Amino acid sequence: MAQKPKMEETFGGYVLHNVPFPTELNEQTLAALKKMGPILIEQPYEITYLHSYAQDSPFFAGLANGRFLANRDPTTGYTYANPRGHDMVSGAETEWVEIQPEGKVHAFTVCHFGSEEFLPECPFVLALIELPGADTLFLARLIDVDPNAASLDWIGMKVKGRFRRLTRFKPTDIYFYPA
């Protein structure tokens, strides 16, 4: 008789939580299984993700080269600080224009919790920046201020943008500091 094939069995990084099971199975223990808590499995999860910036690619290439590019509606002149391929009112295709990453704080928040990537940096400050030449606000990190001493005095504070030397091709490639 041929031996049945077996799949390799390994825990492979799994951590199991809450797995009680009775040693004897009888009517009473089988009834108790209905009250058993859920089995929890903890395991590493990784995925390779391919993301396209598509029409926004010039914005991120600009950041990587120390340039702040905005989008302008060629008809109205309305300028978006964040990349936007088409005007939100007319739907017309926008054009790329360079603006200076200097402005003032419009609003801010202190983040005491963040995603996994930003958790080690908590608390940190996010600010909406008014940029001359742009009709919309730009959301970015505000550094060189004490998040534990946040003050309404920061509203209107003049700030300058700085580009990361080691680009990651992310919106965080630019951040602002008090001018």
22, 28, 33, 37: CA torsion to nearest 10:
-90
Q: Report domain extents, the chain.
A: 54-178
Which alpha helices (DSSP H) does 26-127 contain, by range? 27-32, 57-64
**Model-level pTM?**
0.73
Tens digits of per-residue pLDDT, 154-179?
Answer: 999 999 999 999 999 999 999 999 99
Q: What is the DSSP string of 81-95?
A: SS--SB-TTT-PBPE
d(CA 161, CA 144): 12
- pLDDT of 34 reads 80
Low pLDDT (below 70) residues in the chain: 1, 7-21
Residue 44 main-chain phi, psi, to 5 deg: -65, 150
